[in-house]
């Protein structure tokens, strides 16, 4: 049997993780002199409290080689193979560290998802399905390599101060976006993050246009599954996005998941994305 492991940044729900026997390896969240494990010792509401109430910005840190070795060492004797899916190598050194750790084992495979959040989650999900179907590790890895370029990941961000505090946009850009009420769409393209369309207006108004732009009048979408991923958006906001997804597309599975600490620390509380795969 093949075991699937993944970085905690894949942002899959606890139900999916348990049902598919996936093991997560947590990244680290650094707040001042304290170090927390993503999703274990700290959650997104904790991060928002630290930023909003204590004015303490949180940074993220990759899983180190020793931690990967510890997990692989425990699991490798129990399974035919381990396939580990990493957050994209352009976003973190996790992939590099995981490869160094995997070099000490003859049955550990490492996949660069070239994505983040449930963009990586799609790859982890597909890997777990194939593992449950009894496919061999070589076939799983080959299929994942073909699937990775098909994932379409994007988020709309309500405010840019979190990105600014993390050094990912200038103070001028953050202030300008606030004054002009701009909500940028952040996309993952060829494994790198870029700014896409810039929406104007309330967060909810922008999401209306964002979902329509992403899903309407397209013939290249794989309608098997879509993730609606956010840290702590209001229930009515998420419900409206689900309505819009149903309006513009007919997915077999519409799965809501909560973004973990990595996305939350960089993007803030009002962040929402729809992530799916293309056919080609």
CATH of the domain at 106: 3.40.50.10170
The pLDDT value recorded for residue 162 is 64
Mean pLDDT of 248-257: 97
Listed residues 148, 166, 187: the one ending a domain: 148
Do 137 and 50 lie in one domain? The reply is: yes
Q: Whole-angstrom Cα distance, residue 120 to residue 144? A: 11
CA dihedral 19, 112, 146, 212 (to 10 degrees): 70
Statement: residue 181 has pLDDT above 80? no
Residues 24 and 108 in one domain: yes
Containing structural domain, residue 232? 150-278
**Please, what is the average pLDDT of the chain?**
91
Asked if residue 271 and residue 160 are part of one domain, the reply reads yes
Domains identified in the chain, total number: 2
7 and 141 in a common domain: yes
Q: Can you tell me the mean pLDDT for 24-39?
A: 90
Query: Is 157 found in the same domain as 177?
Result: yes
pLDDT at 147: 98
Closest among 193, 224, 196, 222 to 209, alpha carbons compared: 196
Q: Which of 102, 133, 148 is the last residue of a domain?
A: 148
| Domain limit, last residue, from 119, 148, 177 | 148
């Amino acid at each position: 049997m093949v075991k699937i492991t993944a970085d905690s940044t894949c942002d899959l729900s606890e139900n999916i993780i348990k049902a598919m026997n996936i093991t997560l390896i947590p990244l680290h969240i650094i707040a001042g002199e304290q170090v927390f494990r993503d999703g274990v010792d700290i959650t997104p509401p904790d991060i928002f409290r630290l930023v909003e109430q204590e004015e303490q910005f949180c940074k993220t840190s990759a899983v180190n080689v020793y931690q990967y070795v510890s997990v692989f060492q425990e699991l490798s004797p129990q399974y035919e193979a381990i396939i580990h899916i990493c957050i994209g190598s352009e976003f973190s050194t996790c992939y590099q560290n995981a490869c160094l750790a995997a070099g000490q084992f003859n049955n550990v495979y490492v996949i660069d998802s070239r994505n983040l959040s449930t963009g990586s989650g799609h790859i982890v999900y597909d890997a777990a399905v194939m593992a449950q179907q009894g496919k061999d590790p070589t076939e799983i890895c080959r299929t994942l390599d073909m699937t990775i370029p098909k994932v379409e990941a994007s988020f709309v961000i309500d405010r840019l101060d979190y990105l600014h505090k993390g050094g990912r946009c200038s103070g001028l850009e953050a202030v300008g976006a606030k004054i002009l009420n701009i909500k940028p769409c952040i996309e993952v393209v060829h494994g790198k993050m870029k700014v896409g369309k810039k929406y104007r207006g309330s967060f909810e108004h922008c999401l209306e246009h964002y979902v329509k732009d992403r899903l309407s009048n397209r013939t290249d979408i794989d309608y098997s599954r879509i993730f609606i991923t956010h840290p702590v958006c209001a229930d009515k906001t998420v419900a409206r996005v689900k309505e819009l997804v149903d309006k513009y597309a007919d997915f077999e599975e519409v799965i809501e998941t909560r973004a973990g600490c990595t996305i939350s620390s960089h993007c803030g509380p009002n962040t929402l994305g729809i992530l799916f795969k293309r056919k080609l």
